[in-house]
Amino acid sequence: MHAARLTDSLCYHGEGPIWSASWGGAGALRWVDMLAGEYLQLDPRTGAITRTATGSPVVACVRPRRGGGAVLALEKGFGLQDPDGTITVLPSLWDEPVRMNEGAIAPDGTFWCGSMAYDRTEGAASMWRLGTDGTAIRAWDDVTISNGLAMSPDHAHGYYVDTPTGRVDVLDWDETAGFVDRRTFRDLDDEDGHPDGLTVDAGGRVWVAMNGAGRALCLEADGTVAERIEVGARQVTACTFGGEGLTTLYLTTSRENLPEGEDPAAGSLFAVEPGVSGVAEELVFGG
């Protein structure tokens, strides 16, 4: 299958798409222009796109918040957006040259987001957990480029990517301990590109963006590749299901570090109808 290009090259580093029924009245897609510190919102009914500055040099991830608004992963920590759009930046979590990168909401309403060093130093980053009381803790260390994180439909497992490992990992979800027992789900070193952001469909299959390959893969429960989605830009960064019935797979792309004029569709938003739907239950931050 081939994804269609929906927008012009709007982002330098497009990332982190997410659909929420709580945004835009009848539902909307948001994604980030990460290194510009801005997020974009698409109204699928009209095609209108708005862009919002967060006040941070980086916004790595945006997820819906119970009661309206959003929770944000910013350069060195987290922020909370109220329904009226006001953003409150929470205290910085570190001083080192490290930034947030990708995250997801867990079944208990906490927000988990991993980081990466600007120079991509091996093992210099961490996974962080923002509690519903606004308290952040470091969940685990020895991360290099923390990327995709998504829950299985039954909330029993989480799927996770630390890109330089070349793998998608799976973890068990424990209501008390959080994510535990990390292990390999699928080693993707035999595929072109590098695993980046991911999502899970209603049947439990994992869809992972392969940065550098211009495609996304659909992985069955046993890790075998069931489908390849070709995208007209090489640096595919992340994907999510949205739209009516959650039947559209949206894919973000980046033009980070590309010479001017190379890969002209890079930074655009793409979409495809793969014949499956996303997870109907929406996990929202409980704060």
Cβ partners under 8 Å of residue 162, min gap 6 = 114, 143, 144, 145, 146, 147, 169
Neighbours of 129 (CB within 10 A): 19
Are 103 and 79 contacting, i.e. CB atoms less than 8 angstroms apart?
no
Question: Measured between alpha carbons, how far is residue 32 from residues 61, 115, 193 in Å?
Answer: 7, 15, 22
Catalytic residues: 196
Are 32 and 15 contacting, i.e. CB atoms less than 8 angstroms apart?
yes
Q: Is 228 left (phi over 0), alpha (psi -120 to 50) or beta?
A: beta
First to last CA, the chain: 39
